[in-house]
Structure 1
Amino acid sequence: MINANIENIIVKFLIKQASASELTELEEWIQDSNNKKLFEEYVKVNYAIEYNMREFDSNKVINELLEAYAREIKQKRSQKLRKLFYYSAAAVLSGVVMTTYFNRMNTDHKPAEVTKVVVNNVINAGTDKAILTLEDGSNVLLEKDKTYEKDNVVSNGKELICKHGNKSNSAVTYNYLTIPRGGQFKLSLSDGTEVWLNSESKLKFPVAFVEGSLRKVELIYGEAFFDVSPSTEHKGAKFKVLNKNQEVEVLGTEFNIKAYKEEENVYTTLVEGKVTVSNAAAKKYLTPNQQSVINLKNRDITIKSIDAYNEVLWTKGIFSFKGRNLKEIMDVMSRWYDVEVVFQKPELEKVKFNGVLSKNDNIKEILKIIKKTNFINDYEIKDRKITIK
């Protein structure tokens, strides 16, 4: 099994974001024959989407990889790194058939004909931005490369920081952080807990916690990843994340909650530690690599085993899609690129993919990659509306 650190480097390697030191670490790790096999299988199963949808030329793929990374390492190590690129390209090439599939609505589905793509405007990827709502109801726009500071909070343009320290009295002041479509932002709470907020999300949080008392925030809607400061550092004070559909209690751990307004389920994924998930109907315990799913219609809580790492890659600037259908993928894209996506045919929503994409990718390039599968006939971009044909 690949450890989380190496898995993270592999993902960054494949989307061209690995540093020279990370490449060196990966290079040394892969010298072991068993690790080499793990690497090849991992790439085949999880991360060939950007390659298997393109026309293949093995030499071209290898050369592109070499050119992209050669500048990041010392010349004296280039010969060893060449082997690493070869392993990656070979694994991708051998995984073409394995990594993309289609759930057919009928048995005689045929590849679509190529037609003209209509693109009327440029749609940029999302960026760091948020709206901070203060206790008095005033709003502050937080944007990339712009700083803000007032009282006990400061922003550097990509993170809002509540200055460390707890209150000694019972008075708690709450602020709100709202992430619009096409945005993302990080929040550091006064107790040291870190929160990553995804597009179209809203969190209610205290500027400072009361010393020794329950630490509590509310995810009003959207998606957030929490790295909670342990209770041992706060006189045993527990940490809770509330949502209108559930309550999550932790002592100190890493977990992700997805509770979008338009979705039928609320998902809580545990990366590390232990949490309880409860609502009016039930209470469940999660261990690492487990996910609770609350059905909002019947309130049932089910538990399933998953690869938690893939669920939180969005915090590292990566879209990870494993067995996701096109409807689910486009829901994610619509929030990040702030667009509307419609399907001309309902069956197109059921096309399924495995793979990884950078959040910095141009939306047109992503659509071109999807079109290469021949399971969609065409797409059209008009204003901020994308039609899948």
Structure 2
Amino acid sequence: MISNKIENIIVKFLTNQASASELTALELWIQDSENKALFDEFVKINYAIEYNMKEFDSHKIISKLSEAFAREKKERKLKKLRKVIYYSAAAVVLGILTMGYFYRTSFFQQPAVVPVIVNNTINKGTDKAILTLEDGSVVTLEKDKVYKKDNVVSNGKELVYNKNQGKSELVYNYLTIPRGGQFQIKLADGTKVWLNSESKLKFPVAFAEGSVREVELIYGEAFFDVSPSSEHKGAKFKVLNKNQEVEVLGTEFNIKAYKDEDKIYTTLVEGKVAVSGFNSKKYMVPNQQTIINLKNGAMTINPIDAYNEVLWTKGIFSFKSKNLKEIMTVMSRWYDVQVVFQNAELEKVKFNGVLSKNDNIKEILTIIKKTNFINDYEIKDQKIIIK
């Protein structure tokens, strides 16, 4: 079984984010034949395209990895190392994502089609948010922009509130993440929250001492690393939403509750939580996910790879058995674009893949196009048309 630490390094390697020390650790680990087999299986299962992988050549992937290590030892210079790892990792990911393409086109030759790109102004997402204070005033938070006022400070990536002063009167602020944005916040009790694109959180400036600590995820997606109740005189922590309530004692979990989706997903990474909604209540353990169907109120609980579900907080898109519509929904929020499918059947095509949130949208679309399941794409202003 692969440890979370090694799994994290493998994912970083595949997305061109592994440091020199991490690569060294991976090199030592993969020298063991059993570990090499685990590496082979992990990449094959998690990061190959599900429908296209008729063949899987693990030797090529491990060869690329070996080349990167060999060049690291030879050059011993960080700049050169980063360049080597960049091209090696890119080759590995592209190889994984396009093997099925070459398999298919060896039988079905098709003329190359050049994508139509008109006035392409699509940019990747960045750190940005809107802070609404208790008096209704609005503060724009942006990458590399410092903000300070009273008990709160921001470095352009994270908003930090001073340690809880135990005030009896609750005063609320709101943090809104627009499409194409992301941001982090450290609440007054020490709880850390990562907010994804198109999300909104309501929270108190300070929590009342001894009372239940409550915040509200009004909509969107957020990952919570909750300060334990033992540090707050036993006070529980709750995350409210108009359709559910999550109660915790100290844990890490993810909630996805977007306005335009008919399901709410709660994924537990560590600890224990109780999820309530529509007259149902379920207790979760790590690597479980509850799904509330907003159409009929049904609540289900399923086993899941929680680590894979929260990779977005580390700057990684991880898609495991996701259809193209789900993938494009995620992309539309991060790149702030509209996606249209000319053929509705394409929405159902499923993929496994891992990509960096720093990738250009054209690079991602080109990779998908090489799978041979879409014929073409067109970019026009802030709209992507899948053909």
Specify the alignment match of 1:382 in structure 2: 380
Specify whether residues 293 and 100 from structure 1 end up closer, same or farther in structure 2 by C-alpha distance, changes over 3 A only: farther
Aligned to 2:197, what secondary structure does the other structure show? Answer: coil
Deviation, structure 1 residue 37: 1.1
Contact 1:379-1:386 at 8 Å conserved across structures: yes
Cα distance in 1 for partners of 2:299, 2:36 equals 39
Is 1:136 aligned to 2:135, yes or no? yes
Q: Tell me which moved more, 248-257 or 280-289.
A: 280-289
Say which of 190, 194, 197 aligns to 1:196: 194
Specify the alignment match of 2:208 in structure 1: 210
Deviation, structure 1 residue 92: 9.0
Cα distance in 2 for partners of 1:57, 1:174 equals 55
Specify whether residues 23 and 293 from structure 1 end up closer, same or farther in structure 2 by C-alpha distance, changes over 3 A only: same
After superposition, give the CA deviation of every residue in 1:299-352 in whole Å (9 maximum; x if it has no partner): 111000010011000000000000000000000000000000000011010111
Give the alignment of 1:278-357 within 5 angstroms.
278-357=276-355
Contact 2:127-2:182 at 8 Å conserved across structures: yes
Aligned to 2:266, what secondary structure does the other structure show? Answer: strand
Specify the alignment match of 1:10 in structure 2: 10
Deviation, structure 1 residue 279: 1.3
Number of aligned residue pairs: 373
Specify the alignment match of 2:178 in structure 1: 180
Return the TM-score normalized by structure 2: 0.88
Cα distance in 2 for partners of 1:243, 1:100 equals 47
Aligned to 1:190, what secondary structure does the other structure show? Answer: coil
Contact 2:14-2:93 at 8 Å conserved across structures: no
Specify whether residues 275 and 374 from structure 1 end up closer, same or farther in structure 2 by C-alpha distance, changes over 3 A only: same
Contact 1:241-1:247 at 8 Å conserved across structures: yes
Deviation, structure 1 residue 374: 1.2
Specify whether residues 57 and 277 from structure 1 end up closer, same or farther in structure 2 by C-alpha distance, changes over 3 A only: closer
Deviation, structure 1 residue 69: 7.1
Cα distance in 2 for partners of 1:210, 1:179 equals 26
After superposition, give the CA deviation of every residue in 1:10-68 in whole Å (9 maximum; x if it has no partner): 1111111111111111122222222111111111111245xx89xx9999988976787
Cα distance in 2 for partners of 1:224, 1:4 equals 21
Specify whether residues 12 and 86 from structure 1 end up closer, same or farther in structure 2 by C-alpha distance, changes over 3 A only: closer
After superposition, give the CA deviation of every residue in 1:186-237 in whole Å (9 maximum; x if it has no partner): 0101111100000000000111111221111000000000000110111000
Give the alignment of 1:226-237 within 5 angstroms.
226-237=224-235
Q: Which runs of 5+ in 1 are unaligned?
A: 103-109
Contact 2:68-2:88 at 8 Å conserved across structures: no
Code of the residue aligned with 1:365 in structure 2: it is E
Say which of 226, 238, 241 aligns to 2:239: 241
Is 1:27 aligned to 2:21, yes or no? no
Give the alignment of 1:81-160 within 5 angstroms.
114-120=112-118, 121-160=120-159
Specify the alignment match of 2:367 in structure 1: 369
Aligned to 1:146, what secondary structure does the other structure show? Answer: coil
Deviation, structure 1 residue 292: 0.1
Contact 1:181-1:338 at 8 Å conserved across structures: yes
Specify whether residues 86 and 163 from structure 1 end up closer, same or farther in structure 2 by C-alpha distance, changes over 3 A only: closer
Q: CA RMSD in A?
A: 3.4
After superposition, give the CA deviation of every residue in 1:123-174 in whole Å (9 maximum; x if it has no partner): 111000000000011110000000001011100000000111232x420110
Cα distance in 1 for partners of 2:62, 2:38 equals 20
Give the alignment of 1:36-55 within 5 angstroms.
36-48=36-48
Cα distance in 2 for partners of 1:338, 1:95 equals 25
Aligned to 2:313, what secondary structure does the other structure show? Answer: helix
Cα distance in 1 for partners of 2:379, 2:93 equals 34
Specify whether residues 377 and 6 from structure 1 end up closer, same or farther in structure 2 by C-alpha distance, changes over 3 A only: same
Cα distance in 2 for partners of 1:87, 1:134 equals 44
Cα distance in 2 for partners of 1:86, 1:141 equals 39
Specify whether residues 287 and 76 from structure 1 end up closer, same or farther in structure 2 by C-alpha distance, changes over 3 A only: same
Cα distance in 2 for partners of 1:322, 1:380 equals 25
Aligned to 1:21, what secondary structure does the other structure show? Answer: helix
Q: Which runs of 5+ in 2 are unaligned?
A: 79-83
Contact 1:223-1:256 at 8 Å conserved across structures: yes
Code of the residue aligned with 1:327 in structure 2: it is K
Aligned to 1:171, what secondary structure does the other structure show? Answer: coil
Contact 1:101-1:353 at 8 Å conserved across structures: no
Cα distance in 1 for partners of 2:102, 2:254 equals 27
Cα distance in 2 for partners of 1:170, 1:385 equals 49
Code of the residue aligned with 2:127 in structure 1: it is D
Cα distance in 1 for partners of 2:101, 2:320 equals 9
Specify whether residues 93 and 185 from structure 1 end up closer, same or farther in structure 2 by C-alpha distance, changes over 3 A only: closer
Aligned to 1:36, what secondary structure does the other structure show? Answer: helix
Deviation, structure 1 residue 97: 6.7
Cα distance in 1 for partners of 2:195, 2:89 equals 36
Cα distance in 1 for partners of 2:207, 2:74 equals 48
